[in-house]
Structure 1
Amino acid sequence: MTTSILDITPFIPADARLMQSSLPDKAISLISLTAKLTGQLAPLTLARLEYHMAAINSYYSNLIEGNATRPHEIRAAQRGSYSGDPAKRDLQQESLAHMQVQEWLSIQKPDLDTLFTPEFISRLHREFYQRVPEGLWLIKDEQGNTAATLVPGEWRSGSVIVGQHIPPSASDLPALMQKFCETYNPKKFSGDRKLIAIMAAHHRFTWIHPFTDGNGRVGRLLTDVALKAAGLESYGAWCISRGLARTATQYKQLLANADAARQGDYDGRGQLTERGLMDFCNYMLDTAIDQVSYISDLLDLASMRQRIESYVQARNDKRVAGVDASLKPIVSLILFSAYQQGEIGRAQALELCAMPERSARRLLGQLKSEGLLSETSSKSPLRWEIPEHAEPWYFPNLTP
């Protein structure tokens, strides 16, 4: 039996149901919160946060799929330091591949018309899996035998069962993915419906299950870049995957609930449950709001200044792992100024040190060597950085 795009109706909840729900208000709240976060950060600080959060996003998105490689292990892989255990090494490479694809997306900056095409979604899958060890292309059955092998960037060629759900036949995928992209391009929706459509598309993509494997990771990457392209400029300084991973059981259950057929005359007019789709979209928007609120609170100027001061104090109390040298109290002002502005000129940095020039240069040299500040040349301004030893103090509870 052929599966058509009509088999995933409703595409988004009906207007009548939306007007009786809190979904539109939540979408507007998310837009407002992300705009406020963008406005409170210097562009260079935002860029540095996005770079740092790539490892966090990779960690949480892969954690949902069972890869528990920690952020410090991912960053070790960035430096070329891998585990001696082949299985753990493969998982490090998988996590690193996720980060590299995020970087590729950041460079590409696809607009919504580019993003919502079968060609781009296929390429997104290919970009990820071409960076992953070929051993992870093998799909194992319950007995540990190889049941299938994925081909990066190609729609699956066989049938699959996902929990209680049987996704569409492989022969239907080319036409179905074309219609999926035409239907869910957020440009076809206005106002708050854009974000609701992106969240609904997240479920419908997993329902279609177009690839042999990697649908969860690619689906979350697709949602990430769609939110950014739809105008949430601070996305990247926060990521929805952190919230999804921390409530993974609920995430997977709501995905499964939304797979169900319509439950009677009071459950919409489509083929699938409208109530299940509403519940899933509510969960996704709640999770996004929670994550942007968490990061916004951390990045509040007064709060960040206090945590930078706490970090400097902890250094002097020998409570920071990985570094032994103490820091002069004035360092907290230097680091906070760099955070607030994104970078500080060398003359300003020397002035902030409030000490003889030779001593000031020595102090700034220490901050650079410890990764707290960086430079692009010997005369460039000094930029705020987030070394691993400072992360737990700057961003408590960001990772377990």
Structure 2
Amino acid sequence: MIGNYDNEPVERIEPCRIEAIPERVADLIADLSAESRQLENRLPKPTAAALADLVRAMNTFYSNRIEGHNTPLREIERAMAQDFDADQDKRNLQLEARAHMRVQAEIDRLHHQGALHCPTSAPFILWLHAEFYRDMPDDLRRIEAGDISFLMEPGEFRSAARDIANREVAVGRHRPPSSERVAAFMEHFQRRYDLAGMGNSQKIIAMAAAHHRLNFIHPFYDGNGRVSRLMSHAIALSAGIGAHGLWSISRGLARGMTVPTEYKAMMEQADLRRRNDLDGRGNLSQEGLVEFVAWFLAVARDQIRFMSSLFDFDHLTEHLKLFVTREGLNPHSMGILEEVVIRGEMPRGDAPRATGLPERTARMVLSALIDTGVLASATPKGPVSLRFPVHVTEVVFPKLYGEAMG
């Protein structure tokens, strides 16, 4: 047994919050608030919704990549169409990707409807885990620890009552709280990160701080990283910096500011114990928490700026021109595409005006665009709006998905 579990106070994860916000963190919060609003208002809602679907797939790719799993965008697209690979290993990766897409889409839907529960509450975190694993086969829920093997239950914290033999968990050099203390630690976590009692600045800090502290507790036998990233996505929405899902924290965490290994290194730095009397009053290092929060927020700002550059009108239309050329479409197609980018959607009857072509010819141009998949509508005769299947994304956003195409 590692440590004395009878003397394991929940204050072990303190400090949970940054009470005196350093100037550099305050500057990052201001940048995130302003630049996320600009990104949110950059595009009309139908276009933003199509791009949010694209970013959700990207978030899934990078979240899986952090776990050491490579699921290219084409495999994610196939999974969403329930077209699973015959190879069991590839199929399992597709199932993981499909689950991530489904859960994040539900988070986004709940936020849009004003029904998103507090993302740092224990019930919400349990729901995230349960939803992610609900359709997983046994081999994706099986936990192997030495000579012990058991099936993890979706939506259940580690529990000594459920698994006495495997209660001690190690994550590298870190020793999370014991199974018998997880519930108490999560109650403390929920109290300390109650978003209802926070202003937006503290919510933005919580997006980063709670991300680390949840992983420090390691409340589940598996899936902690995915749950923490989905939780941070939900906190960003709650804090008003989610920009309708037009940016992804997972891409930033997977790539880092300079090298991919930064995420792990910064998480380990935030694990450090308090060093001296100048390093806060908690069990863990206040300076380590501040450094992690500052890094996390800088990563978020970097991703918002990256997305803003991609979703700029000039960038988007220029790359749509490349798509039109590659597909051998009528050059007048750009009149329709530019109309849709500006307005978000276009009634089919507006094709002659948008292209400057006779009605019959304009209908043929519109039909050809729809056939490529770059335009679609909710109903057979409804207005058309942009879509971004893989073959469109390859041309329109090559920087976004270069390494995700597979």
Using structure 1 for the length normalisation, give the TM-score: 0.92
Instruction: Give me the whole-angstrom Cα distance separating, in 1, the residues matched to 2:55 and 2:117.
Output: 26
In structure 1, what is the equivalent of residue 253 of structure 2? 244
In structure 2, what is the equivalent of residue 263 of structure 1? 275
Q: What does 1:352-391 align with in structure 2 at a 5 Å threshold? A: 352-391=354-393
Letter in 1 for 2:312: D
Structure 2 gap ranges (5+): 1-5, 160-166
Instruction: Work out whether 1:120 is the aligned partner of 2:100.
Output: no
In structure 2, what is the equivalent of residue 91 of structure 1? 93
In structure 1, what is the equivalent of residue 227 of structure 2? 218
Alpha-carbon displacement from aligned partner over 1:103-155 (angstroms, at most 9, x marks no partner):
222233376754332122111100100122221111234x7x65443110001
Q: CA deviation at 1:233?
A: 4.2
Letter in 2 for 1:289: R
Instruction: Give me the whole-angstrom Cα distance separating, in 2, the residues matched to 1:385 and 1:154.
Output: 38
Q: Is the 8 A contact 2:336 2:366 kept in 1?
A: no
Q: What does 1:1-400 align with in structure 2 at a 5 Å threshold? A: 1-15=6-20, 18-19=21-22, 21-109=23-111, 114-141=118-145, 147-157=149-159, 158-247=167-256, 248-315=260-327, 326-399=328-401, 400=403
Instruction: Give me the whole-angstrom Cα distance separating, in 2, the residues matched to 1:205 and 1:199.
Output: 10
Instruction: Give me the whole-angstrom Cα distance separating, in 1, the residues matched to 2:197 and 2:264.
Output: 28
Letter in 1 for 2:65: L
Instruction: Give me the whole-angstrom Cα distance separating, in 2, the residues matched to 1:114 and 1:196.
Output: 15
Q: CA deviation at 1:194?
A: 2.0
In structure 1, what is the equivalent of residue 3 of structure 2? none
TM-aligned CA distance change 1:191 to 1:57, over 3 Å: closer
Q: Which is bigger in relative contact order (C-alpha 8 A, separation at least 6)?
A: 2
Alpha-carbon displacement from aligned partner over 1:41-82 (angstroms, at most 9, x marks no partner):
111111111122221111110110111111111101222322
Instruction: Give me the whole-angstrom Cα distance separating, in 2, the residues matched to 1:97 and 1:307.
Output: 31
Instruction: Give me the whole-angstrom Cα distance separating, in 1, the residues matched to 2:39 and 2:83.
Output: 35
Q: CA deviation at 1:191?
A: 4.1
> The residue matched to 1:22 in structure 2 has which SS?
helix
Alpha-carbon displacement from aligned partner over 1:179-205 (angstroms, at most 9, x marks no partner):
211211233222422211221010000
Task: Quote the sequence identity (%).
Answer: 36
Q: CA deviation at 1:27?
A: 1.0
Q: Is the 8 A contact 1:24 1:193 kept in 2?
A: no
Q: CA RMSD in A?
A: 1.8
Q: CA deviation at 1:336?
A: 2.1
Q: Is the 8 A contact 1:2 1:172 kept in 2?
A: no
Q: Is the 8 A contact 2:249 2:299 kept in 1?
A: yes
Structure 1 gap ranges (5+): 316-325
> The residue matched to 1:24 in structure 2 has which SS?
helix
Q: Is the 8 A contact 2:351 2:363 kept in 1?
A: no
Q: Is the 8 A contact 1:111 1:229 kept in 2?
A: no
Q: Is the 8 A contact 1:10 1:270 kept in 2?
A: yes
Alpha-carbon displacement from aligned partner over 1:323-357 (angstroms, at most 9, x marks no partner):
xxx11111123112212211012222232122221
Q: CA deviation at 1:85?
A: 1.1
Instruction: Give me the whole-angstrom Cα distance separating, in 2, the residues matched to 1:93 and 1:122.
Output: 20
Instruction: Give me the whole-angstrom Cα distance separating, in 2, the residues matched to 1:365 and 1:192.
Output: 48
TM-aligned CA distance change 1:191 to 1:52, over 3 Å: closer
TM-aligned CA distance change 1:189 to 1:5, over 3 Å: farther
TM-aligned CA distance change 1:200 to 1:52, over 3 Å: same
Letter in 1 for 2:30: I
Letter in 2 for 1:265: D
Using structure 2 for the length normalisation, give the TM-score: 0.90
> The residue matched to 1:140 in structure 2 has which SS?
strand
Q: CA deviation at 1:274?
A: 1.2
Instruction: Give me the whole-angstrom Cα distance separating, in 2, the residues matched to 1:277 and 1:147.
Output: 35
> The residue matched to 1:344 in structure 2 has which SS?
coil
Q: Is the 8 A contact 2:237 2:244 kept in 1?
A: yes
Q: Is the 8 A contact 1:94 1:133 kept in 2?
A: no
Letter in 1 for 2:179: A
Letter in 1 for 2:307: I
More displaced, 107-116 or 364-373?
107-116
Instruction: Give me the whole-angstrom Cα distance separating, in 2, the residues matched to 1:137 and 1:169.
Output: 20
Q: CA deviation at 1:391?
A: 0.6
> The residue matched to 1:280 in structure 2 has which SS?
helix
Count residues with an aligned counterpart: 385
Alpha-carbon displacement from aligned partner over 1:256-282 (angstroms, at most 9, x marks no partner):
111111011221121101111111111
Alpha-carbon displacement from aligned partner over 1:212-262 (angstroms, at most 9, x marks no partner):
110000000001011112212415111010111113411011111111110
